[in-house]
Copies of this chain bind each other. A is one copy, B any other.
Amino acid sequence: MVEKSHKHVSCESCAVRTNSLFAHFTPDEVSELNHHKSCQFYKKNQTIFVEGSFPRGVFCINHGKVKVYALGDEGKEQIVHIAKAGEVIGFRAMLSGEQYKLSASTLEDSNVCFVSKDDFLNMMDTNASLRNSLIQELSKELGERAIFITNLAQKTVRERLAYSLMILADIYGDEPINLSREDLANFVGTATETLIRLLKDMKEEGFIDTQTRKIFILKREELIQLAGGHR
């Protein structure tokens, strides 16, 4: 499980850079970024960083998906975010100068690049566009979490599941949603058994279809309704 390998990808040719924090970089800045970063291949279910440790830099997902989660008192994961290719993770704790409050691990085989704290902070000093993107990103996530909190506090599990499926559909794009039932339960914030039952209901109602792990959205509009509207 600790098996890692390197597989260099250049930032210049990185297809997903265009929707990352680095989207608005000039060619020179991209080349500088490329020079400073390193790449690592992570197999499915490998850990990228762990709650409690100190950040040494940020991680940019070149390929794959990553769950970002907190561990509750009884060791149960609460997934707070699922990051896809193009996203940069791990900057929050680095910027606030704290230990990680969350852990991150891969949901599938992934290629992840690393930029050290010094290099990243240097870029932030000299690059106003990076700063702005970052502030925007922090603000956006902060808003999303406020909604997440309200949903958790006020919606039923069924509504939250519908809501979560909509978020996941965005993340997975054309592909079917592909998560273990446990991960999905930990994203929705419920017990795995409850999640399985509700998923079954929704399948019987024709809202979704499932093939083992894979979930297909069949009735998008109805699910949005169920989720209590889009916010």
- Would A150 and B228 be within 8 Å (CB), given that A95-B135, A98-B143 are in contact? no
CA distance A97 to B139 in the complex (A): 9
Contact, CB under 8 Å: A228 / B139: no
CB distance from A192 to the nearest CB of B (A): 13
The verdict on A134 contacting B135 (CB below 8 Å), with A72-B154, A153-B152 known, is: yes
A139's partner among B95, B136, B155 (CB-CB below 8 A) is B95
Q: Residue of B at shortest CB range from A154?
A: B72
Q: If A145-B149, A189-B153 touch, does A139 touch B76 (CB 8 Å cutoff)?
A: no
Q: How far is the CA of A98 from the CA of B137 in the complex (A)?
A: 12
With both beta carbons as reference points, the residue of chain B lying nearest to A135 in the complex is identified as B95
Decide if B139 touches A139 in the complex (CB within 8 Å): no
Nearest CB in chain B to that of A96: its residue: B139
What distance in Å separates the Cβ of A106 from its nearest Cβ neighbour in chain B? 19
Does A148 count as interface, using CB distance less than 8 angstroms? Answer: yes
The listed residue (B72, B92, B138, B140) touching A150 by CB distance below 8 A is: B72
A76 to B138, CA, bound (A): 26
Given A145-B145, A146-B102, CB of A72 within 8 Å of CB of B138? no
- Residue pairs across A and B with Cβ atoms less than 8 A apart, 12 shown, are A70-B150, A78-B149, A78-B153, A80-B146, A98-B143, A102-B146, A131-B135, A135-B135, A135-B138, A141-B142, A145-B145, A153-B189
